[in-house]
Amino acid sequence: MNFNILSLIRHPFYYNQAMIIRGVKMDVYIEITYLINLIVLMIVFEMMIMLLNLNWSFKRICGYSFICNLSLMMIYIDLYKIVPLIIWLIIFAFLFKKQLFLYYPTFLTLYFSVLYFIKELVEDGFIYHSILIIPTTYYAMSLFVVGLFFSMIQGIYCFYLKKKLTNQRFCYQMKMEYLHHQYQITGFLDTGNETYYHGFPLIIIKKEILKEYQVIDHLLITSPTHLEIEIIMIDTLTINHQRLNHIYAGIISQIQYDCLLNKQLMGGIL
Protein backbone atom coordinates (compact mmCIF):
# COMPACT_ATOMS: atom_id res chain seq x y z
CA MET A 1 0.00 0.00 0.00
CA ASN A 2 1.27 3.49 -0.79
CA PHE A 3 -0.04 7.03 -0.73
CA ASN A 4 0.98 10.43 -1.98
CA ILE A 5 2.61 12.39 0.82
CA LEU A 6 1.24 15.61 -0.72
CA SER A 7 -2.21 14.52 0.42
CA LEU A 8 -0.97 14.88 3.99
CA ILE A 9 0.39 18.38 3.57
CA ARG A 10 -1.85 21.33 4.24
CA HIS A 11 0.62 24.15 5.02
CA PRO A 12 3.53 25.40 2.85
CA PHE A 13 6.18 24.90 5.53
CA TYR A 14 5.76 21.14 5.25
CA TYR A 15 7.45 21.32 1.85
CA ASN A 16 10.73 22.44 3.40
CA GLN A 17 10.36 19.97 6.23
CA ALA A 18 9.86 17.12 3.73
CA MET A 19 12.63 18.50 1.50
CA ILE A 20 10.51 18.15 -1.64
CA ILE A 21 9.48 20.57 -4.37
CA ARG A 22 5.85 21.57 -4.67
CA GLY A 23 4.02 19.19 -6.99
CA VAL A 24 6.59 16.37 -6.81
CA LYS A 25 5.13 13.02 -5.78
CA MET A 26 6.68 11.08 -2.87
CA ASP A 27 5.62 7.46 -2.32
CA VAL A 28 5.58 6.11 1.23
CA TYR A 29 4.71 2.53 2.13
CA ILE A 30 2.47 2.20 5.18
CA GLU A 31 3.83 -1.25 6.08
CA ILE A 32 7.45 -0.05 6.30
CA THR A 33 6.42 3.14 8.11
CA TYR A 34 4.51 1.07 10.66
CA LEU A 35 7.46 -1.30 11.14
CA ILE A 36 9.98 1.51 11.62
CA ASN A 37 7.81 3.34 14.15
CA LEU A 38 7.08 0.08 15.98
CA ILE A 39 10.81 -0.56 16.38
CA VAL A 40 11.30 3.03 17.55
CA LEU A 41 8.61 2.55 20.21
CA MET A 42 10.25 -0.68 21.39
CA ILE A 43 13.57 1.15 21.67
CA VAL A 44 11.91 3.91 23.69
CA PHE A 45 10.17 1.51 26.09
CA GLU A 46 13.40 -0.42 26.69
CA MET A 47 15.25 2.83 27.39
CA MET A 48 12.45 3.89 29.75
CA ILE A 49 12.68 0.58 31.63
CA MET A 50 16.40 1.01 32.18
CA LEU A 51 16.06 4.68 33.12
CA LEU A 52 13.28 4.09 35.67
CA ASN A 53 14.65 0.71 36.82
CA LEU A 54 11.46 -1.17 35.98
CA ASN A 55 10.97 -4.90 35.58
CA TRP A 56 8.95 -5.59 32.42
CA SER A 57 8.97 -8.66 30.21
CA PHE A 58 9.80 -8.40 26.50
CA LYS A 59 6.25 -9.55 25.74
CA ARG A 60 4.89 -6.60 27.72
CA ILE A 61 7.16 -4.21 25.81
CA CYS A 62 5.89 -5.55 22.48
CA GLY A 63 2.28 -5.19 23.64
CA TYR A 64 2.70 -1.57 24.75
CA SER A 65 4.58 -0.72 21.56
CA PHE A 66 1.82 -2.20 19.41
CA ILE A 67 -0.88 -0.27 21.27
CA CYS A 68 0.96 3.05 21.08
CA ASN A 69 1.74 2.49 17.41
CA LEU A 70 -1.98 2.68 16.64
CA SER A 71 -1.40 6.44 16.50
CA LEU A 72 -0.05 5.74 13.00
CA MET A 73 -3.65 6.05 11.87
CA MET A 74 -3.32 9.81 12.42
CA ILE A 75 -1.64 10.13 9.03
CA TYR A 76 -5.07 9.51 7.51
CA ILE A 77 -6.70 12.20 9.66
CA ASP A 78 -5.51 15.71 8.94
CA LEU A 79 -6.01 17.16 12.42
CA TYR A 80 -3.85 19.04 14.87
CA LYS A 81 -0.38 17.74 15.69
CA ILE A 82 -1.27 17.32 19.35
CA VAL A 83 -3.86 14.60 18.67
CA PRO A 84 -1.36 11.66 18.86
CA LEU A 85 -0.02 13.06 22.13
CA ILE A 86 -3.54 13.11 23.56
CA ILE A 87 -4.12 9.54 22.38
CA TRP A 88 -0.89 8.42 24.09
CA LEU A 89 -1.92 10.29 27.24
CA ILE A 90 -5.20 8.37 27.33
CA ILE A 91 -3.39 5.06 26.71
CA PHE A 92 -0.86 5.75 29.47
CA ALA A 93 -3.62 6.82 31.88
CA PHE A 94 -5.41 3.53 31.23
CA LEU A 95 -2.27 1.35 31.45
CA PHE A 96 -0.32 2.97 34.27
CA LYS A 97 -2.86 5.02 36.27
CA LYS A 98 -0.97 6.49 39.27
CA GLN A 99 2.41 6.24 37.49
CA LEU A 100 1.10 8.38 34.61
CA PHE A 101 2.91 11.57 35.66
CA LEU A 102 6.22 9.70 35.84
CA TYR A 103 5.98 7.43 32.80
CA TYR A 104 4.33 9.77 30.28
CA PRO A 105 6.83 12.69 30.40
CA THR A 106 9.72 10.21 30.40
CA PHE A 107 8.23 8.42 27.39
CA LEU A 108 7.73 11.64 25.41
CA THR A 109 11.25 12.87 26.16
CA LEU A 110 12.84 9.61 25.03
CA TYR A 111 10.51 9.18 22.05
CA PHE A 112 11.19 12.53 20.44
CA SER A 113 14.90 12.30 21.24
CA VAL A 114 15.13 8.98 19.37
CA LEU A 115 12.84 10.22 16.59
CA TYR A 116 14.88 13.35 15.87
CA PHE A 117 18.13 11.40 16.13
CA ILE A 118 17.02 8.95 13.42
CA LYS A 119 15.55 11.77 11.34
CA GLU A 120 18.93 13.52 11.23
CA LEU A 121 20.64 10.33 10.04
CA VAL A 122 18.17 9.54 7.27
CA GLU A 123 18.04 11.97 4.35
CA ASP A 124 14.58 13.30 3.41
CA GLY A 125 13.03 11.80 6.53
CA PHE A 126 10.63 14.05 8.42
CA ILE A 127 8.17 13.92 11.30
CA TYR A 128 4.45 14.30 10.68
CA HIS A 129 1.98 14.12 13.57
CA SER A 130 4.71 12.60 15.80
CA ILE A 131 5.29 9.85 13.21
CA LEU A 132 8.54 9.31 11.33
CA ILE A 133 7.88 9.45 7.57
CA ILE A 134 10.58 8.22 5.17
CA PRO A 135 10.34 8.09 1.35
CA THR A 136 10.72 4.73 -0.38
CA THR A 137 14.12 5.65 -1.84
CA TYR A 138 15.65 5.69 1.68
CA TYR A 139 13.96 2.63 3.21
CA ALA A 140 17.11 0.51 3.07
CA MET A 141 19.13 3.20 4.83
CA SER A 142 16.42 3.87 7.42
CA LEU A 143 15.94 0.19 8.22
CA PHE A 144 19.69 -0.21 8.61
CA VAL A 145 19.94 2.78 10.99
CA VAL A 146 16.90 1.77 13.05
CA GLY A 147 18.00 -1.88 13.12
CA LEU A 148 21.52 -0.95 14.23
CA PHE A 149 20.18 1.35 16.94
CA PHE A 150 17.72 -1.33 18.07
CA SER A 151 20.50 -3.96 18.24
CA MET A 152 22.62 -1.66 20.38
CA ILE A 153 19.78 -0.87 22.79
CA GLN A 154 18.79 -4.55 22.85
CA GLY A 155 22.32 -5.50 23.91
CA ILE A 156 22.28 -2.93 26.71
CA TYR A 157 18.80 -4.09 27.72
CA CYS A 158 19.94 -7.74 27.91
CA PHE A 159 22.85 -6.70 30.13
CA TYR A 160 20.37 -4.79 32.31
CA LEU A 161 18.12 -7.86 32.63
CA LYS A 162 21.09 -10.05 33.49
CA LYS A 163 22.04 -7.67 36.28
CA LYS A 164 18.43 -7.60 37.51
CA LEU A 165 18.30 -11.40 37.58
CA THR A 166 21.55 -11.49 39.53
CA ASN A 167 20.10 -9.10 42.10
CA GLN A 168 16.92 -11.20 42.33
CA ARG A 169 19.00 -14.02 43.80
CA PHE A 170 19.44 -11.90 46.91
CA CYS A 171 15.76 -10.91 47.22
CA TYR A 172 13.51 -12.59 49.77
CA GLN A 173 9.80 -12.37 50.44
CA MET A 174 9.05 -11.47 54.03
CA LYS A 175 6.10 -10.90 56.32
CA MET A 176 6.36 -8.00 58.73
CA GLU A 177 4.06 -7.11 61.62
CA TYR A 178 4.28 -3.60 63.01
CA LEU A 179 1.79 -1.47 64.99
CA HIS A 180 -1.03 -3.95 64.32
CA HIS A 181 -0.42 -3.81 60.57
CA GLN A 182 0.82 -6.69 58.43
CA TYR A 183 3.07 -6.12 55.43
CA GLN A 184 4.19 -8.42 52.63
CA ILE A 185 7.52 -6.95 51.56
CA THR A 186 10.60 -7.80 49.53
CA GLY A 187 13.91 -7.76 51.35
CA PHE A 188 17.30 -7.46 49.67
CA LEU A 189 20.33 -9.01 51.35
CA ASP A 190 22.71 -6.06 51.19
CA THR A 191 26.26 -7.20 51.95
CA GLY A 192 27.20 -3.54 52.32
CA ASN A 193 24.72 -2.94 55.12
CA GLU A 194 26.87 -3.04 58.25
CA THR A 195 24.81 -0.59 60.29
CA TYR A 196 24.35 -1.26 64.01
CA TYR A 197 22.21 0.32 66.71
CA HIS A 198 23.54 -0.13 70.25
CA GLY A 199 25.37 -3.24 69.07
CA PHE A 200 22.33 -4.78 67.34
CA PRO A 201 22.30 -5.31 63.54
CA LEU A 202 20.01 -2.78 61.90
CA ILE A 203 17.84 -3.42 58.86
CA ILE A 204 16.65 -0.57 56.64
CA ILE A 205 12.96 -0.10 55.81
CA LYS A 206 11.59 2.02 52.98
CA LYS A 207 9.56 4.81 54.55
CA GLU A 208 6.91 4.86 51.82
CA ILE A 209 5.63 1.34 52.57
CA LEU A 210 4.72 2.07 56.20
CA LYS A 211 1.17 3.18 56.99
CA GLU A 212 2.36 4.66 60.28
CA TYR A 213 5.37 4.37 62.56
CA GLN A 214 6.65 5.47 65.96
CA VAL A 215 10.21 6.74 66.23
CA ILE A 216 12.10 5.54 69.29
CA ASP A 217 15.45 7.15 68.52
CA HIS A 218 17.66 8.71 65.84
CA LEU A 219 20.96 7.42 64.50
CA LEU A 220 23.61 9.49 62.72
CA ILE A 221 25.49 7.67 59.96
CA THR A 222 28.71 9.42 58.96
CA SER A 223 29.97 7.05 56.26
CA PRO A 224 30.03 7.67 53.34
CA THR A 225 27.76 10.71 53.89
CA HIS A 226 26.20 12.30 56.94
CA LEU A 227 22.68 10.92 57.27
CA GLU A 228 20.35 10.89 60.24
CA ILE A 229 17.85 8.04 60.19
CA GLU A 230 14.86 7.34 62.39
CA ILE A 231 14.86 4.15 64.45
CA ILE A 232 11.81 1.97 65.07
CA MET A 233 11.32 -1.49 66.57
CA ILE A 234 9.48 -4.02 64.44
CA ASP A 235 7.25 -6.43 66.34
CA THR A 236 7.90 -9.53 64.24
CA LEU A 237 9.65 -10.36 60.99
CA THR A 238 9.08 -13.71 59.27
CA ILE A 239 11.57 -14.75 56.61
CA ASN A 240 12.43 -18.17 55.22
CA HIS A 241 9.84 -19.72 57.60
CA GLN A 242 11.69 -18.33 60.62
CA ARG A 243 10.30 -15.70 62.95
CA LEU A 244 12.33 -12.87 64.47
CA ASN A 245 10.92 -10.71 67.25
CA HIS A 246 11.68 -7.11 68.25
CA ILE A 247 14.00 -6.13 65.41
CA TYR A 248 15.52 -2.65 65.18
CA ALA A 249 15.02 -0.95 61.83
CA GLY A 250 16.07 2.35 60.31
CA ILE A 251 13.66 4.37 58.16
CA ILE A 252 14.94 5.82 54.86
CA SER A 253 13.04 7.32 51.92
CA GLN A 254 13.50 6.54 48.24
CA ILE A 255 15.39 3.26 48.32
CA GLN A 256 15.01 0.64 45.60
CA TYR A 257 13.77 -2.26 47.74
CA ASP A 258 11.20 -2.43 50.53
CA CYS A 259 13.86 -3.56 52.97
CA LEU A 260 17.65 -3.84 53.09
CA LEU A 261 18.58 -6.82 55.23
CA ASN A 262 21.62 -6.98 57.45
CA LYS A 263 24.03 -9.83 56.71
CA GLN A 264 24.88 -10.33 60.38
CA LEU A 265 21.23 -10.50 61.40
CA MET A 266 20.38 -12.97 58.64
CA GLY A 267 23.27 -15.32 59.42
CA GLY A 268 21.93 -18.87 59.80
CA ILE A 269 18.48 -17.87 58.51
CA LEU A 270 19.14 -17.46 54.78
Distance (Å, whole) CA 247 – CA 233: 5
Q: Which has the higher per-residue pLDDT, 56 or 267?
A: 56
CA angle (72, 76, 79) in 5-degree steps: 95
> Confidence band (pLDDT; 50, 70, 90) for 14?
very low
> Does the pLDDT of residue 5 top 50, yes or no?
no
Sign of CA dihedral 9, 10, 12, 14: negative
For the range 53-57, what are the long-range contacts, defined as Cβ-Cβ under 8 Å and sequence gap of 24 or more? 53/256, 55/164
> Does the pLDDT of residue 4 top 80, yes or no?
no
CATH number of 171-266: 2.40.70.10
What is the DSSP secondary structure assignment for residue 69, as one 8-state letter? G
- Taking residues 162-180, report their average pLDDT: 82
Distance (Å, whole) CA 266 – CA 41: 43
> pTM value?
0.60
| Cis amide bond preceding 224, omega within 30 | yes
User: How is the chain split into domains, by residue range?
Assistant: 2-168, 171-266
H-run or E-run covering 208:
none
Residues 6 or more apart in contact with residue 120 via CB below 8 angstroms = none
H-run or E-run covering 232:
strand 227-239
Distance (Å, whole) CA 184 – CA 173: 7
> Does the pLDDT of residue 74 top 80, yes or no?
no
> Confidence band (pLDDT; 50, 70, 90) for 45?
very high
> In this predicted model, what pLDDT tens digit does every residue of 120-161 receive, in sequence order?
887 777 777 778 887 776 677 778 888 888 889 888 888 888
Residues 6 or more apart in contact with residue 27 via CB below 8 angstroms = 2, 3, 4, 5, 135, 136
Radius of gyration of the chain (CA): 26
Maximum average pLDDT range among 152-156, 219-223, 263-267:
152-156
pLDDT recorded at residue 216: 92
Q: pLDDT over 90 for what percent of the chain?
A: 23
* 55 in Cβ contact with 111 (< 8 Å): no
